[in-house]
Amino acid sequence: MFAFLAKLLLVARSRLKSRASLEAENMVLRQQVIVLSRKSRSRVRLRNIDRLIFVWLYRCFPAILSAITVVKPETVIRWHRRGFRAYWRWKPRRCGGRPRVDRGIRDLIRRMSEDNPLWGAPRIHGELLMLGVDVAQSTVARYMTRRQRPPSQGWKTFLRNHAAGIASLDLFVVRTISFKLLYGLVILRHARRRLVAISVTTNPTAEWIVGQ
């Protein structure tokens, strides 16, 4: 009994669907007649409402592409994809967002930043909270005065300028034939890459390294 009812529902659904598809195809044909009735000498004139009707019918009944002749089926598919992208760009747009920061608060943040060059955003944020101004620390950082600092030298330039006064120090381990551990300390000058000192001990301590 249930199987018979299920089959009956499927037949009714298919008939309703086929009838709806037929109605959609008729709408496509009628719309094409409307478009062709305002045809110019050079080409078919399509309006946005025509494109919207074709895309909407294609969205509901993809089979209507075979009935469209005024444009290529690929064109309707391209319109549909373009509308899909436009919809999802429009949907997540910001309708509200954060409340706008008052002009007086923005001026106060800039003044505190200019008068206290060593204060960062956390310090200014704390001072504003003590004054009763409730703003986020990210907002403070956004409205602080941007100072133009000279570009810092790179690591390569630093080494080239100070190589004469820089030395490298390395501590390594050596195993002896009797399985004991010896600790070696090497000091190398960067200016000429010259070995300054090398020392060995079995008990490396901080005092011993400082002495070397």
183, 171 Cβ separation under 8 angstroms: yes
190, 163 Cβ separation under 8 angstroms: yes
State the residue for tokens 């070995």: 195
State the residue for tokens 């062709």: 36
Residue 84: the pLDDT is 79
Q: Is the pLDDT of residue 17 over 60?
A: no
Residue 1: the pLDDT is 47
Name which of 16, 13, 20, 11 is nearest 63 in CA terms: 20
Q: Is the pLDDT of residue 200 over 80?
A: yes
Kindly tell me the burial class for residue 28, based on how many C-beta atoms sit within 10 Å of its own C-beta (0-12, 13-18, 19 or more): buried
The verdict on pTM exceeding 0.85 is no
Residue 4: the pLDDT is 43
CA distance 141 to 143: 6
